[in-house]
Structure formats: C-alpha cells, structure tokens
Amino acid sequence: MKRKKIELPSDPDLRGALPALRRAAKDALRLAIETGTSCYIMRDGKIVDIAAEHRAGKRRAHCRKAKKSAAG
C-alpha cells in the first residue's frame, strides 16, 4: 500500500503533530500489551483491537517454538 505524500504546514507546532500522534499511538499499544488491555484503531472502516492481534501473534509464535522443540 502506497502512502500519500503529506505537505508539511508552515506552523512549527502543526509540523510536529503527526510524529507526536504516531509516538502516542505506539506508546498506547505498548501500554495495552503490558497491561493486557485493549487498544482500538479504525482499519478499513472497522474497529480493531490491535493489542489482541499482537497477543495472538505472540501466542502463535510461542506455540510454533514449543512444537519445534518438542519435535526436535
């Protein structure tokens, strides 16, 4: 998926807003993962819990590792 090029505003406060929002989103996801809570975003018009997706991905990776060590 290509990202659209964004024009930067001339106001320095506004220029720093997008990176600040991205940092806040990353921190919110990290906190949700650490505390076992939800972190919702809107993706393709649907509300999605990305913390649950992350936990499910970690669980699948852990299960694959366990199966490999048991078989090996």
pLDDT digits (tens, 9 = 90+) for 15-33: 888 899 999 999 999 999 9
Q: Which range of residues forms the domain containing residue 30?
A: 12-71
DSSP H stretches of helix in the chain: 12-15, 17-35, 50-71
Is residue 7, in this structure, part of any structural domain at all? no
- The dihedral through the CA atoms of 18, 22, 27, 32 has a sign that is positive
Instruction: Count up the domains in the chain and report the number.
Output: 1
Is residue 3, in this structure, part of any structural domain at all? no
**Low-confidence spans in the chain with pLDDT less than 70:** 1-4, 6, 59-72
pLDDT at 58: 75
Encoded amino acid at 38, one letter: S
Is residue 52, in this structure, part of any structural domain at all? yes
pLDDT at 10: 82
Is residue 1, in this structure, part of any structural domain at all? no
**C-alpha angle 30-17-55 in degrees, rounded to nearest 5:** 15
